[in-house]
Chains A and B, each alone.
Chain A
């Protein structure tokens, strides 16, 4: 299936990637080729086949609900691009 430039722009928006014009052109072509390749999957009838999301079956792995020490706040915040008063600092997200 061939992708359109509009679709590429829509997907890039969903993925929070600000692509350049050049990247949009390249991805439209490359993603179309990759999707064409995976079209081969449609040759197989799978209506009655359950999907496998995990190869090794594990269910509801639980542990005791016990408090334990978490990571040191200062050490964690030292990796943040911006931090203030013990918090991560982000751009303003509300209007007005």
Chain B
């Protein structure tokens, strides 16, 4: 078993562990070895917690040997956590110099839930600084690389979490999604990624970027694993005032895959100018496969789609400029060594601590919220948000879910878009409207475009996350696109 342990799913690892066929120590060792073998190439991790992971594995083994077989649905399963999710005692940098040495004094709610379910946290993953970016290149430390082609970006901002799963360094990981930061890297690395309905998963302990848009969600190599992790992290939490206080229904992914009776809408605006022809072809093939499974698939329209991106790039920076005001060199993080007075301490600490994209967004957000421009920019954007939401409400009277490409293009080359912030923002055009409306969205592999993964996005109604998982599962069972893996790390390299 040892040679293939890192290829096993979370569901299978959990079963083997609870049955006593594979110890947690064996599992943790297998994945730490895999990380040692391939991470120097892909660089998914900022922190690898080998010692605490092994200690945790030994404790889990002792518990199981003591007769405890109800440790949890993630017992014995290694997991990676995006570095903007607080881990008590483990450095949490947000991919930023300003938090480069920051060690949180508490666990995020999702991390508590992981620990309670028996998961083994194996490390913290690289990301675009403060989750601002679509390529991973905005990390203050180093860029993460796409295991399908090391010259290409893996998507972002949850770059390391996506790559850790795609490169089989862990079976599962957590990311966060403010405008597509889970779904887009999942699509570009050929795995499953899900942004739950806003409010389903507690944000307590997630370092805030744009509070009305942020949501934590799971990555995995198949829908079963993603559903399993979603069930662990979703649920009520009084420490997050925007938590909906809901527990998701049990998700049944068994039997024959069928989509009989499912009504699926295809919003035509998502196939506009700029979509790669190969990506379009894969989505069209997916539509045929979904029909073969019994779904009714019809074109529909979300007329305000073209305005969503502009509204987002006012709303998200506005919220970010307020949220990031807390990084002032007083309570935690970096402080400039050399200053004269308080204002200079603030200004220099922030100028030295934040990278260019974070500064750019703080500037846009501050401007949009400033006196004299608030109505023209911030309020206007929130009104557009209403129109985007109404579009969705209208089509959901007729459809159970929507299908679109997750990203209009496959993974691009490192450095290709770094000089053009606007071109980088356009990469999120298919995922952003979902955040504005607080809806659940999921990306599932739907084939390759010139050897690079393409993702199919499913969008659902509020709190209809279980249905999305069921549809994605049926599609995955029928197509097996999720089984395609990059050739990385076979005997030490490409």
Contact = CB atoms under 8 A, between A and B. Distances in A.
Interface of A: 3, 7-8, 11-12, 14-20, 23, 27, 30-31, 33-35, 37-38, 40-42, 44, 46, 49-56, 58, 61, 63, 71-72, 75-76, 78-82, 88, 90-93
Contact of B311 (A41, A71, A82): A41
B199 A56 contact: yes
Contacts of B314: 38
Contacts of A91: 339, 341-342, 345
B360 interface: yes
Given A40-B307, A91-B345, A27 B351 contact: no
Interface of B: 102-103, 105-106, 197-199, 212, 238, 241-245, 304, 306-307, 310-311, 313-314, 321, 325, 328-335, 339, 341-348, 350-351, 354, 356, 359-360, 362-364, 366-367, 370, 377, 379-387, 389, 421-422, 425, 436-439, 462
A91 B344 CA distance: 10
Contacts of B425: 34
Contacts of A63: 238
Contact of A50 (B360, B383, B439): B383
A52 B386 contact: yes
A27 B244 contact: no
Nearest to A53: B382
Contacts of B360: 27, 30-31
26 contacts: A15-B350, A16-B347, A20-B351, A27-B360, A33-B422, A34-B422, A37-B313, A38-B377, A38-B381, A46-B380, A50-B386, A51-B379, A51-B383, A52-B383, A53-B212, A54-B212, A54-B242, A55-B389, A56-B462, A58-B199, A63-B238, A71-B105, A81-B329, A88-B331, A90-B342, A91-B345
A55 B339 CA distance: 42
Given A15-B362, A40-B310, A56 B197 contact: yes
A80 B351 contact: no
Given A11-B370, A16-B350, A41-B307, A52 B363 contact: no
Given A55-B198, A55-B438, A80 B364 contact: no
Contacts of B354: 17
B103 A79 contact: yes
A82 B339 CA distance: 14
A61 B204 CA distance: 15
Contact of A49 (B351, B359, B386): B386
A38 B313 contact: yes
A78 B102 CA distance: 10
Contacts of A44: 304, 307, 384, 387
Contacts of B328: 16
Q: Is the interface of A mostly helix, strand, loop or mixed?
A: loop
B89 to A, nearest CB: 9
A34 B421 contact: yes
Given A49-B387, A51-B379, A55-B198, A17 B347 contact: yes
Given A52-B383, A56-B242, 18 more contacts: A11-B363, A15-B321, A16-B343, A16-B346, A17-B350, A17-B363, A42-B380, A44-B384, A46-B387, A49-B383, A52-B385, A53-B212, A53-B382, A54-B212, A55-B389, A55-B438, A61-B242, A91-B341
Contact of B363 (A27, A51, A53, A54): A27
B241 to A, nearest CB: 5
Contact of A31 (B310, B350, B351, B363): B363
Contacts of A90: 330, 342, 345
Given A11-B370, A58-B199, A91-B342, A19 B351 contact: yes
A15 B384 CA distance: 26
A7 to B, nearest CB: 8
A31 B364 contact: yes
Nearest to B340: A91
B160 to A, nearest CB: 23
A78 to B, nearest CB: 8
A11 B313 contact: no
Nearest to A7: B367
A51 B386 contact: yes
Contacts of A88: 330-331
A10 to B, nearest CB: 8
B477 to A, nearest CB: 31
A46 B383 contact: yes
A63 to B, nearest CB: 5
A25 to B, nearest CB: 13
A37 B351 contact: no
Given A40-B310, A55-B212, A80 B199 contact: no
B349 to A, nearest CB: 9
A7 B382 CA distance: 24
A76 B314 CA distance: 34
B362 A17 contact: yes
